[in-house]
């Protein structure tokens, strides 16, 4: 059986490689021609993903053929889609990439084919929008083809191992679709769970993000309280956590493609129906996390005021600009937002990040600065503030 994976990004490529490794033939469709060429030559475009190099070397151009052309996937029996969904400036989902991908699949869809969406989406997306796009373009009706949702639950840096070990859920828009999708995925996902329907599978993925967002907001709030009363947050957390209590880590806020985006799916859905009281905690958690950069900016400015120089001449270094440690990704990065906020205040701000070059930092409109050359250093991952006056705070 031949399977198409549409979108060979950080989430799609590891999945395509794992499917190829299971013995199935895979056509990877991605609009990025360069990326397709690399994959077909056995070169991994995401070298930082452990375990992916060997799979691409083994299957690229063989069991996994990449192409920018949907026509080359027309003899596939299943289409798995994992292209991005972003938020527009009003925090509403921008479906344009998904729509374009599904309309392209609709043009080559045949009777009996299975389509599975993996991109995290608001509830109802699979059963309403995706079904409509496919029916519009193919002239077929659901029942002629099968449609399901199975959320991608990887974490960059652990993608291959997660696909092999982590529980994965799948749900069809109807019973038959769920069954067909489960049968296919069982061939390459060992820890697979069929759930009631696609809407439930969509919800499962979103609430995981909501749980993390709310708990990180709690950690951030408790951290501020601990600082205020002079308690050691990290020691307290370590001793408070046990089987039934898991206090998360405080931070400069929640970044990345996932968590700061998904919570809005539920907030928007409820607020559209004027159910404001149903999403009070989710909205507040978003606000608390987003406001953490103001809290840290204030602390940094206070530290600068202890240096015996005029404030505007104090050299600040923000250490770490990625949204989390070890991943070269700045989407929704609160560490980067903190650096920009300080620069906008007119302070002498430089940044340093082990994953970036000075040229890359300058392209972001920021100054490069080694921590050793700064008067005040804030380590975004360790949440440590250093200065000449106060070596470690
Ligand atoms: N990266 C993660 O950690 C992660 C984790 C869990 C879930 N996800 C989900 O995966 C989705 C995709 O994320 P990603 O990190 O892989 O994104 P990415 O930006 O790394 O890759 C997306 C890929 O899709 C391709 N593409 C765009 N439009 C296309 C189209 N019309 N047809 C074919 N290809 C197209 C792009 O060229 C790119 O290669 C996210 O929106 C999210 O829902 C990602
Ligand atoms: C652990 C995990 O499986 N996560 C995944 C997540 O991955 P991710 O890449 O977004 O990374 P995270 O680790 O969740 O961090 C996000 C942001 O939260 C900050 N943070 C984190 C923990 C904490 O205790 N305190 C914090 O402040 C951190 O600095 C960063 O900015 O999204 C995926 C995509 O859907 C999900 O599959 C999935 O939930």
- Pocket of ligand 2 contains residue 248 by CB under 6 Å: yes
pLDDT reported for residue 160:
84
**Taking the CA atoms of the chain, what radius of gyration do you get in angstroms?**
23
User: What does pLDDT average to in each consecutive run of 10 residues of the chain (393 residues)?
Assistant: 96 96 97 98 92 96 98 98 89 93 98 97 97 98 98 84 88 98 96 97 97 98 98 98 97 94 93 96 98 98 94 96 92 97 96 96 96 96 83 53
- Pocket of ligand 1 contains residue 12 by CB under 6 Å: yes
E runs forming strands in 213-347: 315-319
Can you tell me which atom of ligand 2 is nearest the CA of 249?
24
Query: Which of the listed residues 196, 217, 234 is the one where a domain comes to its end?
Result: 196
pLDDT tens, 304-328? 999 999 999 999 999 999 999 988 8
* DSSP class per residue in 170-206: EEESSHHHHHHHHHHHTTT-SSEEE-S-HHHHHHHHH
* DSSP class per residue in 75-132: T-SEEEE----EE-TTS-EE-HHHHHHHHHHHTT--TT-EEEE-S---TTIIIIIIHH
The closest residue, in CA terms, to atom 35 on ligand 2 is 258
Q: Name the domain count of the chain.
A: 2
Q: Tokens 């796009």 — which residue?
A: 133
Gap between the Cα atoms of 86 and 119, Å rounded: 10
Identify whether the C-beta of residue 376 lies closer than 8 Å to the C-beta of residue 339.
no
Question: Is position 230 within any domain?
Answer: no
* Cα distances (angstroms) measured from residue 16 to each of 180, 201, 206, 230: 19, 21, 23, 51
- Pocket of ligand 1 contains residue 81 by CB under 6 Å: no
Name the pairing type of β-strands 348-352 and 168-172. Answer: unpaired
pLDDT reported for residue 360:
97
How many CB atoms are closer than 10 A to CB 309? 13
172/298 same-domain check: no
- CATH code of residue 356: 3.40.50.720
- Pocket of ligand 2 contains residue 320 by CB under 6 Å: no
291/190 same-domain check: no
Question: Is position 136 within any domain?
Answer: yes
- Pocket of ligand 2 contains residue 249 by CB under 6 Å: yes
Question: Is position 229 within any domain?
Answer: no
Query: Which of the listed residues 172, 196, 220 is the one where a domain comes to its end?
Result: 196
Question: Is position 299 within any domain?
Answer: yes
Q: What is the ipTM of this complex?
A: 0.93
Question: Is position 228 within any domain?
Answer: no
- Host domain of residue 13: 2-196
Q: Pull the structure tokens for residue 320.
A: 């770490």
Give the predicted TM-score (pTM) of the model. Answer: 0.92
184/295 same-domain check: no
Q: Pull the structure tokens for residue 365.
A: 């409109």
Query: Which of the listed residues 139, 167, 196 is the one where a domain comes to its end?
Result: 196
Can you tell me which atom of ligand 2 is nearest the CA of 325?
29
181/309 same-domain check: no
pLDDT reported for residue 388:
67
Residue 36: partners with Cβ closer than 8 Å, 6 or more residues away: 8, 28, 30, 66, 67, 68
180/325 same-domain check: no
147/40 same-domain check: yes
pLDDT tens, 94-151? 999 999 999 999 999 999 999 999 999 999 999 999 999 999 999 999 999 999 999 9
Question: Is position 139 within any domain?
Answer: yes
Question: Is position 348 within any domain?
Answer: yes
- Pocket of ligand 1 contains residue 202 by CB under 6 Å: no
CA of 282 to the centre of ligand 2 (A): 16
CA of 77 to the centre of ligand 2 (A): 34
Gap between the Cα atoms of 237 and 344, Å rounded: 34
188/296 same-domain check: no
Reduce the DSSP state of residue 147 to 3 states and report it.
Answer: strand
296/147 same-domain check: no
43/184 same-domain check: yes
Active site (catalytic) residues? 205, 258
- Pocket of ligand 1 contains residue 85 by CB under 6 Å: yes
CA of 313 to the centre of ligand 1 (A): 43
The closest residue, in CA terms, to atom 6 on ligand 2 is 155
Question: Is position 251 within any domain?
Answer: no
List the Cα angle 169/175/179 in 5-degree steps. 55
192/307 same-domain check: no
**Percent of the chain's residues with pLDDT above 90:** 90
- Of 84, 161, 204, 259, the one to substitute when testing ligand 1's pocket (max ligand atoms within 8 A of C-beta) is 84
Can you tell me which atom of ligand 2 is nearest the CA of 216?
25
Nearest to 125 by CA among 103, 77, 152, 93: 93
181/302 same-domain check: no
């Amino acid at each position: 059986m031949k399977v198409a994976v549409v979108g060979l990004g950080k989430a799609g490529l590891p999945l395509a490689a794992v499917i190829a490794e299971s013995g199935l033939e895979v056509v990877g469709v991605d609009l990025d021609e360069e990326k397709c060429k690399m994959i077909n030559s056995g070169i991994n475009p995401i070298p930082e993903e452990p375990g992916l190099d060997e799979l691409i070397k083994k299957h690229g151009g063989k069991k996994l053929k990449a192409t920018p052309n949907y026509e080359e996937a027309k003899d596939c029996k299943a289409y798995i889609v994992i292209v991005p969904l972003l938020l527009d400036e009003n925090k509403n989902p921008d479906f344009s990439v998904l729509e374009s991908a599904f309309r392209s699949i609709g043009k080559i869809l045949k009777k009996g084919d299975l389509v599975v969406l993996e991109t995290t989406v608001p509830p109802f997306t699979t059963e309403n929008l995706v079904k409509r796009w496919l029916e519009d373009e193919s002239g077929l009706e659901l029942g002629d083809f099968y449609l399901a949702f199975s959320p991608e639950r990887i974490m960059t840096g652990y993608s291959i191992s997660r696909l092999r070990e982590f529980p994965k859920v799948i749900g069809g828009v109807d019973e038959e679709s769920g069954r067909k999708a489960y049968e296919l995925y069982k061939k390459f996902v060992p820890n697979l769970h069929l759930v009631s329907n696609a809407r439930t599978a969509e919800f499962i993925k979103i609430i995981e993000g909501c749980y993390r967002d709310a708990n990180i907001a709690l950690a951030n709030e408790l951290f501020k309280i601990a600082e205020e009363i002079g308690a050691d947050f990290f020691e307290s957390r370590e001793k408070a956590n046990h089987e039934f209590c898991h206090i998360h880590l405080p931070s400069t806020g929640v970044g990345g493609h996932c968590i700061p985006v998904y919570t809005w799916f539920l907030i928007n859905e409820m607020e559209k129906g004027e159910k404001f009281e149903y999403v009070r905690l989710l909205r507040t958690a978003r606000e608390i996390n987003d406001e953490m950069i103001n809290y840290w900016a204030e602390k940094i400015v206070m530290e600068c005021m202890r240096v015996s120089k005029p404030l505007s001449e104090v050299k600040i270094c923000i250490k770490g600009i990625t949204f989390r440690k070890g991943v070269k990704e700045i989407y929704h990065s609160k560490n980067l937002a903190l650096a920009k906020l300080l620069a906008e205040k007119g302070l002498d701000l430089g940044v340093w990040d082990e994953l970036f070059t000075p040229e890359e930092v300058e392209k972001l409109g920021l100054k490069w600065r080694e921590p050793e050359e700064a008067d005040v250093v804030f380590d975004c991952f360790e949440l440590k503030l250093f200065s000449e006056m106060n070596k470690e705070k």
